[in-house]
Structure 1
Amino acid sequence: MAASSAGGGSGIRHFTPDIHSERGEGLTREVASFIVDCRGGQLPEELIEVGRKSILDGIGLALAGSVARSGRIVQNYLGKQHLSGDATVIGTALRVAERFAAFANGIGVHADDYDDTQLAVQEDRVYGLLTHPTAPCLPAALAIAECRDNTGGELTLAYHVGVEVESKIAEAISPRHYQHGFHSTATCGTFASAAAAAKLHGLDLATTVRALAIAASQAAGLRENFGTMTKPFHAGRAAEAGIIAADLANAGWTATDRILESPRGFFQAHGGGYALEAIHGKLGNPWTFIDPGVSIKPHPSGSLTHPGMTTMLKLIVEHDIDPAQVERVAVGTNHNMPNALIHHRPSDDLQAKFSMEFCIAIVLLERRGGLPEFTDEAVNRDDVKAMIEKIDFGVHPDAEAAGYHKMTTIIDIELKDGRRISGRADFGKGSPANPMSYAEVADKFRGCAEFARFDGDRTERIIGLVRKLERLESVRELTELLG
């Protein structure tokens, strides 16, 4: 094996092994080398700009998540452990050790299923069903950077290294991984937090290899738990697990040096295989946050509902649709989308996030779909239940033909006066095809902060600090505002 330059226009000097078999011998060391070698000056400005939006979004979601039922349970749990430390549990006065802050904040970011979404490159990697990249990575990086008093630039670098490793691993693993029940935010996200932690701790190549291996043995999370508090638990546990992995590796804990490529390693055990060409030489080449990009959610529900909600809102405004005039609504997608949107008659707010029927119904009735609409009370309203009965959700041949790397959603509305209104979207608002600006993400942040009854002055100061995050001399300038 030899060191050579890889990564194209990224400017990063990779350790690129002589990969000479289908198993990609040396792949784990290649990933570790990317983590170790990447420098802040090599991050493209476009990448930094995109990252600021996801970082601000993640902090806002942790604020909103701090008042969720899951947030209250986690805070009570941590309080009973009599823990001490210097890392902030966002939205609270709690200060705990890094791993526990990452755990709590990871749950908070993902609690409302309102966080950013990685987009697939290959057509058989189902669009929107790879990872939520920020939820497991940012909480780990932020907790460590706060405790180490890192600069904003160092936090920015660790965050981007982590989400890039997570995203490329998720892109590479066989789609069977997700289709058979693994939650990739949990499994691949563990590598994100480990990578970010290794970067902030300045671990060398051999130690980083071990950190990745320790992380892989903690990678877990099953989609059967979607629609419950255990889904955001996956993100929190992944954030915590990466910190544990890096700490143990740094202490001399031993582990294999080929956890990704081994016949008994992560890719084979969790997915039955992987696409070597999706990760070998591709870290930072291009950066996933640039191409194909990430999607930031305008609604606190599964991203697969967003093209339908975007289309429905557009049709409602264009045709001034009165919900009382709706006879039937047909919503058609490819067959992978109903595999995730499994709650057809939801009974609480968590199930509603994975219910296409609810998401369309609430938009029809309220002409919006934000945090106040995703509550137990809203889900169980009589008018919502009645509207859900008018919505047929299933597979549409045109959506199926469009490919699984899209979220193609076709809406057909039948009104009582005989009119039929139709619309279609491959992508929702917030996707790279229809992106949210920093100002729009800031408005979403304000909504999350207001939902959490967070101080308005601090809200505006946080928005301003994240806008220049990479120039902060200390991350604590930001974190002191988050409690």
Structure 2
Amino acid sequence: MSDFTHNLANRVTALHFDALEPETVRLIKLGIADCIGVTLAARGEEVVRIASATFATMEGRLHEATTLVSGRRVSSVQAALLNATAAHALDYDDTALDGHPSVVLLPASLAEGERLGASGRDVLTAYAAGYEVWARLRIVEADKIHSKGWHPSSTIGAVAAAAAAARVAGLSMTMTARALSIAASMAAGVVANFGSMMKPLQVGLAVSNGVRAARLAAAGLTASSGALEHPVGLLHALSPRGNLEFGASHDHINERSSAVLQFGINIKRYPVCYAMHRIVDAMAQVCADASIDPSQIARIDAHIGVAQAAMLRDSIPEDALSAKFSLSFGLACVAERGHITLDDLGGERIDDPALRSLMQRVRVVTNHERDPEDPLFSPADWVVIVLKDGTRVTSEPVKHAIGHARRPMIMALLEQKFHECASRTIMDSRKRTTLFEHLTRMETIECLDDLMAAFAAQ
């Protein structure tokens, strides 16, 4: 077995709940609560309907785990697929490590955990284990795999999901290493599908493949021990320039602290691509401070990083999916309405003439300088609003969006977001409040059946 895969597997199997710092547990619980909320918000999404109808006939009639949106019990593989797809359907889930950790790690941990009668502590530990693997897979790559067209959440995420599923199942170190190597052959997902139904589905497929990998390893399936790091393995295949350093984690990760504490979990304030959150915050602040009348805006100059601009490919959106990747929509919406909510992504709301007129006045100005801490982003984003009378109003530069690990969202705002999202599936506000409280006390749940009962027959 190769040292790199061996070390990852050993880290997964050696991790125990009692070794997690209280702050690590707190952050994971916030990520879990947020992820459950955005999953419940996706009840009416077409991609969820299509995936549910299609895969229900393909996975048999096992009753191992719960789909959060419908309350139906299905196989753990299918539950992982459908819950991850729903969680990512609105692009409202958290971010970190160039991807979306909770939408990958929670569905894998919950699905296998429910099948096996796991506790809340087991799920928290599995999440932490998957995050540790994801962080180390991310660190060995000096470049951004986005630039080669790969979607990290559905490539690296498949391996991290396998790690989480293996940990909650209590697999041995040898079996865990096999699960990671099996998942390497199941990792796929491309940036070109951003702004379509395939983006959340490719994450769902990756998570279900991670669960499959763990179950296959447990059943005795073998795989090459170097499937991750071999010159013709996954990481080299994903790498834009082959610029890999397998000892890099020793230099970039503090082994005395959890990866969750070091890299954080960024909670989204808006249901759009995270690449535009900072500049939307800048727009919201300057419009409020300067009392900008949107009808008097002649032009909006959006100063944003070149890598961010490449992800925000849809200039004038045709529907809600493409609006999530439209910088013009995001800036026009917050200027015109003062917010971006799930309701703002409705068809009639997107087609509003005043909003579409303002979208036409957005000009993207790309910044090629990169933030050394997060090279997917520029050091900061800002807007310059040019009014019809020639006045120029410039926002303050924004380095971290509201909800970023270094600019945390206050608990009241997080709970408000949870209610906004969960109300699409759970109508009773008291039940939503109770569920939120249970999720923020996840470590006290003795058996996941007690938690999953809240989703039955919604």
Q: TM-score range by the shorter chain?
A: over 0.9
> Is it true that 1:456 corresponds to 2:429 in the alignment?
yes
1:47 alignment partner, one of 20, 24, 34: 24
Cα contact 1:111–1:229 (8 A) shared by 2: yes
Amino acid at match of 2:328: E
For residue 273 of structure 1, report the CA deviation from its aligned partner.
3.9
Q: 2:363 aligns with which of 392, 405, 416?
A: 392
Going from structure 1 to structure 2, the CA distance change for 1:266 and 1:284 (only over 3 Å counts) comes to farther
User: Partners of 1:440 and 1:454 in 2: how far apart?
Assistant: 19
Cα distance in 2 for residues equivalent to 1:468 and 1:339: 39
Question: Is residue 64 of structure 2 the alignment partner of residue 86 of structure 1?
Answer: yes
- Give the counterpart of 1:153 among 121, 124, 149: 121
Q: 1:285 to 1:240 in 2, by over 3 A?
A: farther
- Asked if the contact 1:151–1:472 (Cα under 8 Å) also holds between the matched residues in 2, the reply is yes
Match runs of 1:208-219 below 5 Å: 208-219=176-187
Matched residue, 2:330: 359
**1:452 deviation in Å?**
3.7
Who is 1:275 aligned against? 245
Q: CA deviation at 1:151?
A: 1.1
Cα distance in 2 between the residues matched to 1:299 and 1:46 = 25
Question: Partner letter of residue 215 of structure 1?
Answer: A
What corresponds to 1:105 in structure 2? 83
CA–CA distance in structure 1, aligned partners of residues 248 and 42 of structure 2: 34
Aligned CA RMSD, in angstroms, stands at 2.0
Equivalent in the alignment of 1:12: none
Q: Deviation at 1:285?
A: 4.7
| Aligned residue number for residue 118 of structure 1 | 96
Does the 8 A contact of 2:187 with 2:206 survive in 1?
A: yes
Change (3 A) 1:326 1:83: same
The SS at the match of 1:425 is coil
Measure how far apart 1:26 and its partner are: 0.8
- The share of aligned pairs that are identical, in percent, is 29
State how far apart, in whole Å, the 2-side matches of 1:401 and 1:140 are: 32
Residue 401 of structure 1, CA deviation: 9.8
What SS class does the counterpart of residue 108 from structure 2 fall into? Answer: helix
By how many angstroms is 1:79 displaced?
4.1
Q: Provide the C-alpha distance between the structure 2 equivalents of 1:134 and 1:474, rounded to a whole number of angstroms.
A: 20
Residue 475, structure 1, aligned to residue 448, structure 2: yes
Measured in 2, the distance between the counterparts of 1:214 and 1:149 equals 25
Q: 1:179 aligns with which of 147, 155, 180?
A: 147
Specify the alignment match of 2:391 in structure 1.
419
Gap runs ≥5 in structure 1: 2-24, 120-129
Partner of 1:244: 212
Cα distance between partner residues in 2 of 1:173 and 1:398: 20
**Structure 2 partner of 1:202:** 170
Three-state SS of the structure 2 residue aligned to 1:395 is: strand
| Separation in structure 2 between the aligned mates of residue 148 and residue 293 of structure 1, nearest angstrom | 29
Whether the aligned pair in 2 keeps the contact of 1:52 and 1:466 (CA below 8 Å) is yes
- Cα shift at 1:62: 0.9
Distance change >3 Å, CA 79–CA 406, structure 1 → 2: closer
Q: Report the residue type matching 1:245 in the other structure.
A: A
Deviation of 1:284 after TM superposition, in Å, equals: 5.4
- The counterpart of 2:284, out of the listed 313, 317, 339, is 313
The one-letter code of the counterpart of 1:202 is G
- Are 1:139 and 2:107 an aligned pair? yes
- Residues 241-283 of structure 1: CA distance to partner in whole angstroms, max 9, x if unpaired? 0111011111110111122221111211221242324335848
**CA 1:259–1:401 in 2, change beyond 3 Å: closer, same or farther?**
closer
- Structure 1 residue 429 corresponds to structure 2 residue 402: yes
Contact kept? 2:113, 2:169, Cα under 8 Å: no
Task: Decide whether the 8 Å contact of 1:332 with 1:410 is kept in 2.
Answer: yes
Shift of residue 104 of structure 1?
A: 0.2
| Distance (whole Å) between structure 1 residues aligned to residue 301 and residue 371 of structure 2 | 15
Task: Read off the aligned partner of 2:443 and give its amino acid letter.
Answer: E
Structure 1 residue 92: deviation in Å? 0.8
Return the match for 2:137 from 155, 161, 169.
Answer: 169
Q: Secondary structure at the match of 1:54?
A: helix
Distance 1:242 1:401 in 2: 31
Count of equivalent residues: 450
**Matched residue of 2:166: which SS?**
helix
Q: Give the aligned residue type for 1:279.
A: S
TM-score (norm 1): 0.89
Aligned equivalents of 1:103 and 1:416: distance in 2?
A: 50
Aligned equivalents of 1:368, 1:317: Cα separation in 2: 11
2:63 counterpart of 1:63: no
Q: What is the letter of the counterpart of residue 472 of structure 1?
A: I
- Give the distance between the partners of 1:406 and 1:354, measured in 2 at CA: 16
Question: Gapped runs of 5+ residues in structure 2?
Answer: none
